[in-house]
Amino acid sequence: MIRRSTARLRLSFMVLLAVAITGCANQDMRDLKQYVKEVKARKQGRIAPLPEIKQIETFVYHPDDRRSPFAPADRGEEETEQSSTTGISPEPDRRKEELENYALDSMRMVGTLEQADTMWALIRTKDKTIYRVKAGNYMGKNHGQITQITESKAELTEIVPDGRGGYRERQASLALKE
């Protein structure tokens, strides 16, 4: 019984194949030839010429008595001592808070809350999570500590490298976005 159904299946396939092949036997391609003829008869397009490249005036650097722009600037000993003795530096042993994993410009202040005489700022991160922070909390990648929260903004003091091996304080803020 299985052999009979297999034989019938093969026979059906052969008949279907023969019908498909006979469908391809029509060699009349007048419509295709007419289309090709029409496309070839169309007016050729014109390509615009390339724009003229303007010559840029070159500049030659004559150092004379100036320092090389690629060499580090010589700073006096007083300036180096002053930057290293300011005493400002991040606290390396302090446990990092969650908002210190985000850059300050990737966060938005979306509101404020006041509970028991404490003003809280609502901060939304780039992954749409909202955090509640108060004065004294840290946020941002530059060791920013929140100093004051008002109805319209949260003010921070960041500790950033000064480029001379020391650190300096910088003021920053997040304004409420409406």
Please report, as a single letter, which amino acid is at residue 12. Answer: S
Give the chain's domains with CATH numbers: 96-175 (2.30.30.830)
pTM > 0.75: no
Cα distance between residue 88 and residue 12, in whole Å: 89
User: pLDDT by residue (tens digit) across 3-41?
Assistant: 778 888 888 888 888 877 776 666 678 888 899 999 988
Residue 156 has pLDDT above 90, yes or no: yes
Which distant-in-sequence residues (6+ apart) come within 8 Å of 119 by Cβ? 112, 113, 134, 135, 149, 150
**DSSP annotation string for 79-128:** HHHHHHTS-----TTSPPPGGGGS-GGG-EEEEEEEETTEEEEEEE-TTS
Place 120 in a pLDDT band, splitting at 50, 70 and 90: very high
Q: Between 140 and 74, whose confidence is greater?
A: 140
User: Nearest 5°: CA angle at 119, between 114 and 121?
Assistant: 100
| Of 3-17, 39-53, 142-156, 163-177, minimum mean pLDDT range | 3-17
Residue 177 has pLDDT above 90, yes or no: no
Q: Between 140 and 177, whose confidence is greater?
A: 140
Inter-residue contact 110 to 177 (CB < 8 Å): yes
Cα distance between residue 24 and residue 155, in whole Å: 79
What phi, psi does 8 have (nearest 5°)?
Answer: -65, -40
| Of 11-15, 24-28, 54-58, 112-116, minimum mean pLDDT range | 24-28
Average pLDDT of the residues of the chain: 85
What pLDDT does residue 106 have?
A: 92
Mean pLDDT in residue range 99-119 = 91
Q: Between 59 and 76, whose confidence is greater?
A: 59
Place 178 in a pLDDT band, splitting at 50, 70 and 90: low
What pLDDT does residue 19 have?
A: 77
